[in-house]
Structure 1
């Protein structure tokens, strides 16, 4: 079965990419490669949450969707504040 012809498999793969982005972002934060206030951290959280939310369309879970919507909202607020303050 190909990801190109199976929308469910494609959505699941996008969700897995989101998981990988979350893990990499957290590892970089923990290892102090990025700051929790940086544009990169906020943008990666936004992309990761969006990918996981897309992945949830294949196998919906309300609690997980609510968490992803929260992360998307907080990332957008953080990015807005970051742009208002200026770059790091």
Structure 2
């Protein structure tokens, strides 16, 4: 399998890494503008995917510090996903339109 990776053009790894960067930026922007929350499992899935893609991008030009950050991000995102799967879902709050006088 590793022999096959040697035949892949470097530009492919670069493109995957840049796409991962794009996912990071998109996810953080959505969080900033309150289009998503860190309580949603999708937030952690996108972070996991982005970190994985950046790590793949590092196959072409390895950087130990960056690889360690991506591995940490993958691990913490995996924990976040598992915690949200295990936690019982709360019912959304209901508000009464009745007025108490």
TM over 0.5: yes
- Stretches of structure 2 lacking an aligned partner (at least 5 in a row): 1-6, 91-101
Residue 44 of structure 1: aligned partner? 46
State the Cα distance separating 1:87 from its structure 2 match.
5.1
Work out which of the residue numbers 75, 80, 83 in structure 1 matches 2:82. Answer: 80
Number of aligned residue pairs? 84
Residue 32 of structure 1 aligns to a residue whose secondary structure is coil
State the Cα distance separating 1:53 from its structure 2 match.
0.1
- Correspondence list, 1:1-80, <5 A: 6-80=8-82
- Stretches of structure 1 lacking an aligned partner (at least 5 in a row): none
Q: Which has the higher helix share?
A: 1
Residue 59 of structure 2 aligns to a residue whose secondary structure is coil
Query: Which is bigger in relative contact order (C-alpha 8 A, separation at least 6)?
Result: 1
CA RMSD of aligned residues (A): 1.5
